[in-house]
Chains A and B, each alone.
Chain A
Amino acid sequence: GENVEQHPSTLSVQEGDSAVIKCTYSDSASNYFPWYKQELGKGPQLIIDIRSNVGEKKDQRIAVTLNKTAKHFSLHITETQPEDSAVYFCAATPDRGSTLGRLYFGRGTQLTVWP
């Protein structure tokens, strides 16, 4: 099955700096890569996603890049703010077989933005 690795596990940045979280995946059949933000005691919230036919996607301060050849994708947050502090999860899902639609998650990154 799919295996998603996520780094780093913790990340501390100063307010206004950029933050980058990287993920790799193993199954070349994966074609959908969402990123979730989870605040303490809450469910994950979809913040951005990318499909395999696109190399980059941006939404205001958040961007995601995808390199299908290398099987890795990254989340970029610019001009970080204290309210960006949370755990971020990357995920991948294949487009065929019995696991269609199932998300495979990374282990998460605890992002702390210091004011």
Chain B
Amino acid sequence: GAVVSQHPSWVICKSGTSVKIECRSLDFQATTMFWYRQFPKQSLMLMATSNEGSKATYEQGVEKDKFLINHASLTLSTLTVTSAHPEDSSFYICSATPWSSYNEQFFGPGTRLTVL
């Protein structure tokens, strides 16, 4: 149980294009989903927290117009990187907290984004 999937697992795009990453909780409903960014050999950096049906809460320094988050259902959240640039290249990971859980987070496998 508590499986989280991400799609795609990797993506290469040209500078200036937009990329959408999907995060799904496969066997549970998620009250909250989180989006992280991770640079090589570093810890996870929280970008935003999203609750189903409401606007995401972004961490300080994260541009909400650049990283659009939509949490349309209890099992799906999407992160869209708009007008991507090479500096947006990174490993993006989502996590989800089950409805039945207090604060456990289960992570997806991550999406490797490379912007040329």
- Which positions in A face B, CB cutoff 8 Å? 32, 34, 36, 41-46, 49, 89, 93, 95, 100-103, 105-108
Q: Is the CB of A43 within 8 A of B104?
A: no
A87 to B59 Cα, complex, angstroms: 25
Task: Kindly supply a per-residue 1/0 record for chain B positions 79-109, scoring 1 wherever the CB is within 8 Å of any chain A CB and 0 otherwise.
Answer: 0000000000000010101000011111111
Measured as residues with beta carbon below 8 angstroms from the partner, the interface class of chain B is: 20 to 34
Chain B residues with a Cβ under 8 A of chain A: 4, 6, 32, 34, 42-44, 46, 49, 93, 95, 97, 102-110, 112
Q: Which residues of B contact A41 (CB under 8 A)?
A: 110, 112
Partner of B107, one of A43, A101, A106, A108: A43
- Chain A positions within 8 Å of B112 at CB level: 41
Which residue of the partner chain, among A34, A45, A89, contacts B44 with CB atoms under 8 Å? A89
Q: How far is the CA of A88 from the CA of B56 in the complex (A)?
A: 28
Q: Interface residues of B: mostly helix, strand, loop or mixed?
A: strand
Contact of A43 among B32, B43, B93, B97 (CB under 8 A): B93
**A74: min CB distance to chain B, Å:** 18
Q: Are B109 and A105 in contact (CB under 8 A)?
A: no
Collect the chain A residues with CB atoms within 8 Å of residue B34's CB: 102-103
Specify which of A32, A34, A42, A108 is in contact with B110 (CB 8 Å cutoff).
A42
Please name the residue on chain A nearest to B2 by beta carbon: A46
Chain A residues lying within 8 Å of B104, measured Cβ to Cβ, are 32, 34, 46, 49
Contact A44 B102 (CB under 8 A): no
Complex partner residue of A102 from B49, B108, B110, CB under 8 angstroms: B49
**Contact across chains for A93 and B106 when beta carbons are under 8 A apart:** no
B107 touching A45, Cβ below 8 Å = yes
- A-B contacts besides A43-B107, A101-B103, 16 pairs, CB < 8 Å: A41-B110, A42-B109, A43-B6, A43-B93, A43-B108, A43-B109, A44-B107, A45-B107, A46-B105, A46-B106, A89-B44, A93-B103, A101-B97, A101-B105, A103-B95, A105-B43
